[in-house]
Structure 1
Amino acid sequence: MRIAFRADASIQIGTGHVMRCLTLAEALRSQGHECTFICRDHPGNLGALIAERGFQLSLLSQADLAEWSIESESDTALAHADWLGVPWQQDAEQTLEALNGPIIDWLVVDHYALDARWERRVSKRVGEVMVIDDIADRPHECKLLLDQNLGREAQDYDGLLPEACIRLVGPRYALLRPEFAELRERSLERRRTPELKRILITLGGVDQDNVTGQVLDVLSKSQLSPETELDVVMGASAPALDEVRQQAQVLPFRVSVSVGVTDMAERMCLADFCIGATGSTTWERCCLGVPTMTMVLAENQKHAAEAIARHGAAVVIQNQSDLEAALQKLLTNEQFAENLSAMSNAGASLVDGLGCLRVINHLKTEQ
């Protein structure tokens, strides 16, 4: 099959949409399928990473902002319309130009600023359309829809999809790289006797508000042992990267700050506890049973966070202002070790790491 992906990353959007598409693309390529990417040249885009991973990339040009402000008036119904950077009609035409060539069997669309209007216009040059969504707030014209979030129900998309659209809903379909399934048994085994020696801190590829710095500040005031290791992971486009590096040098712990890592599964496996964002990495942590305090850093993360909290798979912080009190309370809890074990078991029961294979089987079946 030939598959094209339309997804964006930026300082505003973050990196999660492109990263999960890359995960699916790499799984497809491992089975002999050909994948290409179409992304816009936003500040903070991941074009270099996509090319580094060996995928063909069409990078759409940035828009004239004055033209955008006039032509976007009809798009106000979409809550994230400004994430696109151009009118949807212009994006559709540019995407069609990028698709000019041999027929694409599947177009995978992962973008909150695109809906059924765009999908109908672009579908004339592709075999089928698959949509990856999280928020169920707009209609789609597609053959397959994937929403990998806990707490989402298939009926949440009633009235938003064609009747024949197949809905792949829930973390059973979470798009994880194969190393997470490979490390799952090892990671779960080492959590049978929980301890707190190594903390992984990963708050998204951008972390525009520098929540990482806030977390480090709170930990510096805690009673953690000086022997505690802090493994801080950030994206290369994170605005506060240099500030965090300087902060790490004066902390009373063993701290490393890493950028653009390719061994996240190994880092999660080694972590006794994680402080992370409620994004796609949530399902990676669940697969490996990593006990987590998860931060809600965007409105579209609230629904999944509430479901994760109900399931007991993580401690959820809805507001950044609550971070210090919640983290101090958690770390000083006499039952902290038991809490780690309970969170690990609850998370591991949700995700087995085989979601990519399930999604690919549907792509092949429904072609």
Structure 2
Amino acid sequence: MRCLCLAKCLAERGHQILFICNPLPLSLKQQLAAYSLPLCELAEAKLPIQQHAPQTWLGRSQDQDAQLTIQALAHHSSESWDWLIVDHYAIDQRWQSLLQKQVKDILVIDDLANRQHHCSMLIDQGLKRKLSDYQPLLAPPSSTLLGLDYCLLREEFQHAKQQLRRKPPNQKLKLLINMGGADLGNMSLKILHLLEQSRFAASLSLTIITGAAYPYQEQLQQQLLHSPIPSQYFHDVSNMAQHLLAADIAIGACGGAAWERVALQLPSLCLVLAENQQANARALQDIKVAQALEELELSTPHALDKAISQLLTDYASITASCEKLIDLNGSSRIAVAMESQQINQQRHAYLKLASPSDSETLLRWQQHPNTRKFALNPATPVPDEHHAWFKQALSNPAEHIFIIRVNNQDVGCVRTSQMARFGHYLVSIYIAPEHYQQGFASMALTQIRQLLPQAFFHATILPVNIPSKKLFQSQAYIQVNQQSWLQPPRPIHD
């Protein structure tokens, strides 16, 4: 689902997409078809797959899988593919190295930080993930996009967030259970049995949602027929956001669905069903947006009752904490980073769409005397005013603020503001004082031009700002009057 989210964003930006997968359930094929995304299914895997051993999940060796992928890429295009996006826990640098000659760049989506990778870019949307977690695992140079700024959530969650009116539950508690796509351990049924013995049973209204690969539908439906709890059952839904909106609390797994619940400010109980989920669940509990429970703790209703009680006690603070974590622009940030890195590969640099977490960094740069020296407004920004402006700018579709990143460091900022005349943008740029005169400003202006090839770019530069005048002259900006500069679109043949 996170690959589908990113693919849809890239397709909307004009890129050609191909999915290469092991055989998929019909419902997932239909989702790809609904977005006109082509699919190449590999041959049926032969090796046995073990639920708690991710290294077995390919169903074949990495060498065999790599050769099948190479054949699929060649069959669908005679040209080299720009990016190969890999999202699979059984794939590491061995597979990736075999694909290096077939594509220009490889992007890895991971959240385990437990194996070596050979890639140009890596995404891990883990809450507390740090660069140091991956440095021993990546062959340089590799860009790392870490944290919730890069959370991949589908467009339906953006629409749902606009409808969000989260309130503490009244007497009837609407509880949603969703244990992910397969739920091979049938935790959905186990939780239902525990809830039937719970002290909350008489006040519950229950919704259970299972995924496309859930194999126990008949067993679960039989139990629901005789359950004393009023219940609704849905299988393989396409409107998960609406179900989350309607719920008061949720019980779910700790994968990508946990971020869906956080995005819609839904207090939830995260069940740790595998070792690789522990860090994520504990991090969510540490920042007080969820309760975490190990599977072993669910032998009686007591632990479940205690966790639900804590969610209800902390309801208002949980929803407030969730609101600050995810802004739902992760796919756009990744797409811009991919596009800009390919423009400027030799410098291992890219532009990142700014996020709320960048506010303090930009304030520090803006307050530096060297930045103020040539600013149109020489007054030093006040923190409260800066943070209010920055929050407004991020929500304004006419504003785009990009962080300039080089070798996984933030080195500056470039901003485009849409002007009254269509296709015209005001460009402003500043570099972190510790990174002056390293060519980063010129690189960023070049990337902005290639990201918006048909735009008219304007700049306002004080006459005394000689360094900026030289910079914009080097980028083919034309001086219009004493302070105004213009860069028209490049001819189409360029």
Q: Would you call these one fold, judging by a TM-score over 0.5?
A: yes
Partner of 1:76: none
Displacement of 1:222 in angstroms is 2.3
CA distance in structure 1 between the aligned counterparts of 2:271 and 2:323, rounded to whole angstroms = 19
**Superposed CA RMSD:** 2.3
Partner of 1:58: 40
TM-score by length of 2: 0.64
Q: Is the alpha carbon distance of 1:45 and 1:156 closer, same or farther for their aligned partners in structure 2, counting shifts above 3 Å?
A: farther
Higher RCO (C-alpha under 8 Å, 6+ residues apart) = 1
Letter in 2 for 1:149: G
**Could you give the per-residue CA deviations for residues 41-70 of structure 1, whole angstroms, max 9, x where no partner exists?**
3789944543454321111113454xx99x
Q: Which moved more, 1:223-232 or 1:87-96?
A: 223-232
User: 1:177-256 to 2 correspondence within 5 Å?
Assistant: 177-187=154-164, 189-191=165-167, 193-195=168-170, 197-224=173-200, 226=202, 228-256=204-232
**Could you give the per-residue CA deviations for residues 303-343 of structure 1, whole angstroms, max 9, x where no partner exists?**
11111111111010122433622221234x4x753312222
Letter in 2 for 1:153: K
The alignment partner of 1:199 has SS state of strand
CA distance in structure 1 between the aligned counterparts of 2:267 and 2:46, rounded to whole angstroms = 45
In the alignment, is residue 98 of structure 1 matched against residue 99 of structure 2?
no
CA distance in structure 1 between the aligned counterparts of 2:198 and 2:261, rounded to whole angstroms = 24
Partner of 1:159: 136
Checking the alignment, whether the CA contact within 8 Å between 2:86 and 2:107 is kept in structure 1 is yes
CA distance in structure 1 between the aligned counterparts of 2:133 and 2:155, rounded to whole angstroms = 29
CA distance in structure 2 between the aligned counterparts of 1:133 and 1:64, rounded to whole angstroms = 25
Checking the alignment, whether the CA contact within 8 Å between 2:27 and 2:212 is kept in structure 1 is no
Letter in 1 for 2:81: I
Checking the alignment, whether the CA contact within 8 Å between 2:290 and 2:311 is kept in structure 1 is no
Checking the alignment, whether the CA contact within 8 Å between 2:176 and 2:251 is kept in structure 1 is yes
CA distance in structure 1 between the aligned counterparts of 2:94 and 2:134, rounded to whole angstroms = 17
CA distance in structure 2 between the aligned counterparts of 1:211 and 1:94, rounded to whole angstroms = 35
In the alignment, is residue 341 of structure 1 matched against residue 316 of structure 2?
yes
Letter in 1 for 2:106: V
The structure whose Rg is larger is: 2
Partner of 2:6: 24
Partner of 1:299: 275
**Could you give the per-residue CA deviations for residues 249-281 of structure 1, whole angstroms, max 9, x where no partner exists?**
222232111111111111111110001110101
Within the candidate set 214, 236, 251, 1:260 is matched to 236
Partner of 1:72: none
CA distance in structure 2 between the aligned counterparts of 1:99 and 1:308, rounded to whole angstroms = 39
Q: Which moved more, 1:176-185 or 1:225-234?
A: 225-234
CA distance in structure 1 between the aligned counterparts of 2:81 and 2:31, rounded to whole angstroms = 23
Checking the alignment, whether the CA contact within 8 Å between 1:235 and 1:260 is kept in structure 2 is yes
User: 1:3-14 to 2 correspondence within 5 Å?
Assistant: none
Within the candidate set 120, 124, 130, 2:97 is matched to 120
Partner of 1:110: 87
Letter in 1 for 2:16: E
Q: Provide runs of 4+ in structure 1 moved above 4 Å.
A: 42-49
Within the candidate set 315, 322, 325, 1:350 is matched to 325
CA distance in structure 2 between the aligned counterparts of 1:336 and 1:98, rounded to whole angstroms = 48
CA distance in structure 1 between the aligned counterparts of 2:307 and 2:278, rounded to whole angstroms = 21
Checking the alignment, whether the CA contact within 8 Å between 1:202 and 1:233 is kept in structure 2 is yes
Checking the alignment, whether the CA contact within 8 Å between 1:194 and 1:341 is kept in structure 2 is no
Displacement of 1:130 in angstroms is 0.2
How many pairs are equivalent? 334
What is the percentage of aligned positions where both structures have the same residue?
Answer: 35
In the alignment, is residue 34 of structure 1 matched against residue 16 of structure 2?
yes
Displacement of 1:236 in angstroms is 3.0
In the alignment, is residue 319 of structure 1 matched against residue 301 of structure 2?
no
Checking the alignment, whether the CA contact within 8 Å between 2:58 and 2:90 is kept in structure 1 is yes
Checking the alignment, whether the CA contact within 8 Å between 2:297 and 2:303 is kept in structure 1 is no
CA distance in structure 2 between the aligned counterparts of 1:52 and 1:181, rounded to whole angstroms = 19
Letter in 2 for 1:223: R
Q: Which moved more, 1:283-292 or 1:353-362?
A: 353-362
CA distance in structure 1 between the aligned counterparts of 2:142 and 2:186, rounded to whole angstroms = 40
CA distance in structure 2 between the aligned counterparts of 1:248 and 1:61, rounded to whole angstroms = 38
Displacement of 1:103 in angstroms is 2.5
Checking the alignment, whether the CA contact within 8 Å between 2:177 and 2:251 is kept in structure 1 is yes
